[in-house]
Structure 1
Amino acid sequence: MTPILEEELKDSIQMADEEYFQRVVVGRVHSSVRGTSESSIKAFVEQHPQYDCKRKSWKGVYKRPEAKLYSPFCELFESVIEDFKIENRAVIDTHKTEVHHREGSERLGNNDVKTSPDLFVFGKGSNFHSEKIDPSPQANYTYCASPCEVKTEQNLKEGIVTQVGVYARQCFIQQGNRKYVYSLVMTEKQAFLLQFDRNGVFRSLPVDIHKEPEKFVYFILLVCSPDPSVLGFDTNIYWRGDKRYIEMFDTDDTDTRARIEYEILRVDGRPFIFRRNIRGRGTVCWKVKDPTGKVRIIKDSWQADGRALEKDLLKKVQGLKGVGQMVACEDDRPSIEVLRGMEGHDLPDGISDRFPRRLVLEAYGNTIDNFTSRTQFLCAFRDAVAGHQNMWNKNILHRDISTNNILIGEDDAEDGNRGVVIDLDMAVELPRLASLAGVDFRTGTKAFQSIAVIASAEARAKGRKCPSHDHLDDLESFFYVFCWICMGYTAIGLPLDPPPDIHTRWETLDEPNLAVSKEHFILVPHGRGSETDEVTQNFGQLFQDVLDAYRSFLAPHISRKSKRDLKPQILEELQSSSKTDYATVLTILDTAITKLKEEETEEESEKRRSLQALILGRRPSPMPSPPRGPSSPSEGRSSSLKRGRNDRGDATVDDDVPPPKRPQSNSVSRTVSTASESRMQTRSHPMQSGEGKGRLRGRAAARGK
């Protein structure tokens, strides 16, 4: 993840002004650490046995190997914490301690990644963890107040920002209630403060630790502050006993609303949705219940200045099926600019101030990649597409369709709400009679962006016009969600380990190569009219038919949007064609749902007949061949073994298993036959060798990243 993080934080560093230290560091230390003043800190330095007042230097801290610097810095932190009686904080030398990561979906169990911050400021209290949990081991990012780093002047590089960013990122992910994370970087000569937040990185001016020892102590006091809010914690999220709570309004009615406690409904108190990025919206979602027992979702995010407020858009979609519904909101908290103490100062080019938003939403199920059956997934996917159309009919375009932004409906959800679209952070209200805005590669989630959105990076760099961002771009994003799940999961929702290489490509390729990869994935199979077999083994032939039909629908639109002379479109001009587009996709899905239910009904009937035959003492009639996608946990395990995995998850290869043959008929694909009558010419392509004839066919060998 380091190269991705490096790209993410690139060009985001804001430098402090000359007055920052006195205005922010000194002010926050005095307000949060009892007994601190300029005189008390000066007295601490003068009386400290490690500081030589005559030579103006800290003993043991001079040019020497990095390994020799950990101990004196650790001892200094310990004495500051002890002398200023800072409760609930401790410093740990962790340069040899491996601290576990948590990456992406918890279902993947990616806990084998570890890092080792040099010094680890440990914290405890109601904002860190349950009062009834013994924080052992202490070197755990859940309990990290501030990860700090030690370097020598010789090996201090700009890469230090990315290195420390890896630690800060884990604090965001594992704690869930951080607005920002401080880190102190120290060498034998200087120290400077880093603040990681949703706008990237803020960096203080360095201080000479020997000639300005009091400033150095101020820095230590800041990163060890006993006040969680000074360390960047949201103190409205806290533990009491063995339960975690969020304090928030109970309704959107400003005349009657009151602040209440929502109990978080996970034993470990973690959010069920979180974004891995530091920089960006930082969306976090919690499943909670109010004091009456009603289940809700609380969503936290950071919206860029100038964007339409999500709460206003949610009011416009009130009552629409397939769209998440709002109960209450809170949007009057300090922005990044204020949290940095840099009000009125310019941010780096291309970066806007961000404001925290908290919403209480109607409750739904988990994200769509947490499905448990093929029927549940397909019905949720279908209703989410219909929900998107409902928004489009209200002149609202979502622009960020992804696995995180589609939720499965509640168990008893009626048709239309079996899946819902959430997260309108990037949504816009469209003008009916004005040209739509052009696609922008900075909008959406990379793995699920349309080709036109991805290609806009190069187009904008070259000063070319971009096509309008319309409903087709979002329908294309839905297609990638469908492929992501059907190619990366079993039929009962177990993620493949390792995941397919297409996941890695869609997440990590740069824009030009990503556009090429997706073009090849859609256009080449469509253009040559050949059979494909990407998801049959996981989900069965029916889902391959859906994929092919959906791909055939998208192909001509993608080809059209790739032309450079497209004129900007007006919403009214799209109304008629958009009805046909949604109807085509929904027909593909509805046809598949009907056939899937028929399959399942027939399978149940066969099972009952077989059971009855056994009871009557007759030999049961042979069962029909099951779908290639597993439909039970035991089938899921056997499928994994066939695909080249043993019980330990080690990769093996079974070259004797031939790829399954596809039937010639494709009833679902025929629903879009009019869209695929004119075949495109197959053309040479840079990614053809990686994604062409051999693309995941048969899935005989487990693919690594």
Structure 2
Amino acid sequence: MFNASQDASTPHRKHSQTGAATTALSTRKTALHEELSSQTDIPTCSAEHVRSLYLNEVTDDEITKFLNETSFYNNGRWTLPPSEDLKEVDLYAPYVNIANDIVTRIRGPRANSRRIAVDSHATQLAHEEEEQTTAYSSPDIVIKATGSSFQIPQTVKRKAGDLGFSNIASCFDGKVDGNVGEKDVQQLGIYSRQIFIHQPNRKFVRALILTEKRFRLFHFDRSGAECSPYFNVHDEAHLFVRLIMGLSSHDEAVLGFDTTIQWKHEDGRKYHGTITVEHDGEVKVYTLNDPEPIFKRYTIRGRATTCWEATDEFDNRVVIKDSWRSHDRTPEHEFLSEAKRLAQERGIELQGVVNMLAYQENLAQTTQFRAQPQGGLDAHHRIQSRIVMPAYGSPIHGFRTRLEVLYAFRDVIAGLRNLVCVELIHRDVSINNILLNEGGKKGNRGILIDLDMAMRAGRSKMSADFRTGTRMYQSVAVLWSCTVDEGDAPPHNHLDDLESCFYVFVHLVFLYVAPGIESTTPLPIDKWDNVDPEIVYPFKESFVNGAIKSSLVSPFWGKEILALIKNLQLFFRQILREKAEWDDAFHDPERHKALVKILLENIEQHYDHVLNLFDTTIAEIEKIDLAAGSANTLPTATPASANGSTSVRRSSRLGSGDRGSNAVTESRGQKRVSRDEDDDGPLDERPPKRATPVASLADADGN
């Protein structure tokens, strides 16, 4: 729950997702706090809301009976150590004993075979991050669990007694009462974030702060965090028992799991699973090919995009994408359904764009788990949906040949034109959203995915926004929007998506000196990958208007690719010059509107020109490869790095020849900054606007 005074627009804040594997926990705590709330304090739910939880887990009579029988509660007080000279460690054993007594007395003596409280303050629970890490943390007390969604942690020696974030239901931190405070949410956020990462079908996580006098409940989900008031642990014994029963529930849905995903186990580890999708009244069960999703996000709040590889009943491979969108955003499946409908009506073959096989809307809503805010719908309210799509190939950076790259880009650019023909603008073209489609026919050799951030073309009120998209690939015009008041920038249009394709292509060619091998030398375009859009867009403009050094293109790519990049550069240079005229007419609305209209009336010519550049280069390389007999052969010579040296390294993020379907592996340049994709990149506050617009870029993408 967030306070009603909070702005109703999508929040913009920093995030805890980072590629730095060695990030200190203190830094992670700060990032988590900024991620979870744009205000100073985490919002507090009502006591009444807490009392409404877990009513079906245990009856009042059962609680009363327990309190009358247990030896840990006498004369209205729990057997907890006094405050005098108290240390936190003194609280662990008493609370572990109390929790286990609650569970075994109420559920029966065999209950602790599935749920048991464990003193874990001295146990190092390994973290998982985007890159390899040695980080760990140690909750004071955890509820160790077994069941479909749990598994023992991955270790060299798989012992049944192993404890990790993959097999805990909830966690508690003990505190001396005088030491509780704002940092508690940061500490519990560290644990909860790791639970989300290790348990990818988790919808929410709850945790407790326990002192010798009081307790407090914390709740984490894709809308952020909320906490309860403090309760006196002695006076509120009934409530405390109910919470322990709920936080150790045998029902995984009660614990916060998506139970449409189920697993079987072998030696304590998941090995076979199913995922259920209900589409148009038909329930379909898919087989999960791997216990780990092929893609997941590493933050708590936001879209939490998770992709699973699966097979249907006919053994067809598919990818199933789960995500949590903001309640006021159009769901991706509506864009895809509308695109297919309009394409059929207009006789357009919708090639180069992802094909949706099925979807399920409204699997869950964060309002089902959280306290209801005062004054209406929570601005951070999110809705879970599921999309089923064919399993294509790896993202474009998994290429093996030059032609494979050219085919994919050519067909994705044609796909962007197809989207415009059905009145859609993508708005987030990136290196991870362009997939190879090995074996696909012309038109489908590259596939554009992820229409989460799409918009309907011609929405004059939807201005370009620097917080939407992936920073590395945003157009100059989108970046420029940070210099004007929100809503004043012209709408995102087809030229912005085309320009993003250009930057993805440039990044791929400059970064990779050969398939799977990245340059070890710094690249001038690395400056594009900066959180601050005001820093990035002058570099982008300079790149478009400047000279390109041939040394940036390795021998693997050849002079043909270098020539293609230079020809694309000339095209976008001319576009920027035409947009510069918009700047001159910024204070003359009629002239400005006329100039914008002229530029945007040339949509077909723009796409035809860019596609012709790719087609010409493809024909040249096909001829060369045919003569050399090397169309499908990787280079055998050690490729040169971007500066001409042979100092290279194989990409640790891609592996060698990994062609997993729709597998999204992060590459350099991955700061996604979508204003609604709160988990997908650092969301910066709007920078102070400049006193005057930049001369060549004012109104740079109007519509």
Q: Mean alpha-carbon deviation: is it higher for 4-13 or for 468-477?
A: 4-13
Q: Mean alpha-carbon deviation: is it higher for 271-280 or for 529-538?
A: 529-538
Q: Deviations over 1:167-216 (max 9, x none)?
A: 32333333321222222233444322222222111222222224323323
Measure, in 1, the Cα distance between the counterparts of 2:70 and 2:640: 64
What is the aligned counterpart of 1:435 among 449, 460, 464?
460
Matches within 5 A, 1:446-485: 446-460=471-485, 465-485=488-508
Q: Which residue of 2 aligns with 1:703?
A: none
Q: Which residue of 2 aligns with 1:582?
A: 607
Q: Which residue of 1 aligns with 2:356?
A: 326
Q: Which residue of 1 aligns with 2:314?
A: 292
What is the aligned counterpart of 1:17 among 46, 53, 58?
46
2:168 matches 1:168: no
Q: Deviations over 1:560-619 (max 9, x none)?
A: 4794938686997655322233234333433443444445445547999xxxxxxxxxxx
Q: Which residue of 1 aligns with 2:685?
A: none
What is the aligned counterpart of 2:91 among 66, 69, 80?
69
2:542 matches 1:524: yes
Measure, in 1, the Cα distance between the counterparts of 2:186 and 2:474: 26
State the TM-score, normalizing by the size of structure 1.
0.74
Q: Deviations over 1:636-666 (max 9, x none)?
A: 99x99943769999xxxxxxxxxxxxxxxxx
2:307 matches 1:303: no
2:126 matches 1:96: no
Q: Mean alpha-carbon deviation: is it higher for 576-585 or for 51-60?
A: 51-60
Q: Deviations over 1:249-272 (max 9, x none)?
A: 3xx5x3xx5212101123xx2221
State the TM-score, normalizing by the size of structure 2.
0.74
1:370–1:197 Cα change, 3 Å: farther
Measure, in 2, the Cα distance between the counterparts of 1:372 and 1:492: 5
Matches within 5 A, 1:210-249: 210-240=234-264, 242-249=271-278
Q: Which residue of 1 aligns with 2:13?
A: none
Measure, in 2, the Cα distance between the counterparts of 1:225 and 1:161: 23
Measure, in 2, the Cα distance between the counterparts of 1:18 and 1:272: 40
Shift of 1:436: 5.0
Q: Which residue of 2 aligns with 1:353?
A: 381
1:603–1:263 Cα change, 3 Å: same
Measure, in 2, the Cα distance between the counterparts of 1:153 and 1:601: 76
Measure, in 1, the Cα distance between the counterparts of 2:146 and 2:565: 50
CA contact (8 A) 1:285 1:298 kept: yes
Q: Which residue of 1 aligns with 2:417?
A: 389
Secondary structure (helix, strand or coil) at the match of 1:317 reads: helix
Secondary structure (helix, strand or coil) at the match of 2:166 reads: helix
Measure, in 2, the Cα distance between the counterparts of 1:480 and 1:354: 32
1:648–1:37 Cα change, 3 Å: closer
Measure, in 2, the Cα distance between the counterparts of 1:417 and 1:607: 19
Q: Deviations over 1:453-492 (max 9, x none)?
A: 34434533xx672122112222233334334444555522
CA contact (8 A) 1:450 1:477 kept: yes
RMSD of the TM alignment (CA)? Answer: 4.0
What is the aligned counterpart of 1:38 among 60, 64, 72?
60
2:226 matches 1:205: no
Secondary structure (helix, strand or coil) at the match of 2:303 reads: coil
Measure, in 1, the Cα distance between the counterparts of 2:565 and 2:152: 46
CA contact (8 A) 2:122 2:138 kept: yes
Shift of 1:244: 0.9
1:451–1:65 Cα change, 3 Å: farther
CA contact (8 A) 1:384 1:419 kept: yes
Q: Mean alpha-carbon deviation: is it higher for 385-394 or for 200-209?
A: 200-209
Measure, in 2, the Cα distance between the counterparts of 1:210 and 1:502: 61
Shift of 1:308: 2.4
Shift of 1:321: 0.2
CA contact (8 A) 1:50 1:59 kept: no
Secondary structure (helix, strand or coil) at the match of 1:102 reads: coil
Q: Mean alpha-carbon deviation: is it higher for 566-575 or for 295-304?
A: 566-575
1:4–1:18 Cα change, 3 Å: closer
1:518–1:20 Cα change, 3 Å: same
For 1:353, give the aligned amino acid. Answer: H
Q: Which residue of 1 aligns with 2:7?
A: none
CA contact (8 A) 2:120 2:139 kept: yes
Secondary structure (helix, strand or coil) at the match of 1:425 reads: coil
CA contact (8 A) 2:214 2:231 kept: yes
For structure 2, list consecutive stretches of 5 or more residues without a partner in the other structure.
1-17, 19-27, 266-270, 341-348, 654-703
1:631–1:75 Cα change, 3 Å: farther
CA contact (8 A) 1:142 1:174 kept: yes
Shift of 1:281: 1.7
Q: Deviations over 1:13-66 (max 9, x none)?
A: 44312420122x2xx2x32x3xx2224334434554444536666236776333
For structure 1, list consecutive stretches of 5 or more residues without a partner in the other structure.
609-629, 650-705
1:530–1:498 Cα change, 3 Å: closer
CA contact (8 A) 1:533 1:544 kept: no
2:202 matches 1:178: yes
1:55–1:148 Cα change, 3 Å: closer
Matches within 5 A, 1:127-142: 127-129=149-151, 136=160, 138-142=162-166
Shift of 1:395: 0.9
1:525–1:261 Cα change, 3 Å: closer
For 1:531, give the aligned amino acid. Answer: K
CA contact (8 A) 1:57 1:210 kept: no
Q: Identity of counterpart residues, as a percentage? A: 29
Aligned residue pairs: how many?
A: 598
CA contact (8 A) 2:303 2:324 kept: yes
CA contact (8 A) 1:386 1:586 kept: yes
What is the aligned counterpart of 1:367 among 395, 398, 413?
395
CA contact (8 A) 1:62 1:188 kept: no
CA contact (8 A) 1:274 1:284 kept: yes
Measure, in 2, the Cα distance between the counterparts of 1:606 and 1:195: 55
For 1:208, give the aligned amino acid. Answer: N
Q: Which residue of 1 aligns with 2:444?
A: 417
2:453 matches 1:426: yes
What is the aligned counterpart of 1:405 among 387, 412, 433?
433
Secondary structure (helix, strand or coil) at the match of 1:404 reads: coil
Measure, in 2, the Cα distance between the counterparts of 1:54 and 1:416: 74
Q: Mean alpha-carbon deviation: is it higher for 540-549 or for 157-166?
A: 540-549
Measure, in 1, the Cα distance between the counterparts of 2:466 and 2:472: 11
Secondary structure (helix, strand or coil) at the match of 1:230 reads: helix
What is the aligned counterpart of 2:292 among 246, 262, 270?
270
Secondary structure (helix, strand or coil) at the match of 1:342 reads: coil
Measure, in 2, the Cα distance between the counterparts of 1:321 and 1:495: 31
CA contact (8 A) 1:368 1:404 kept: yes
Q: Which residue of 2 aligns with 1:696?
A: none
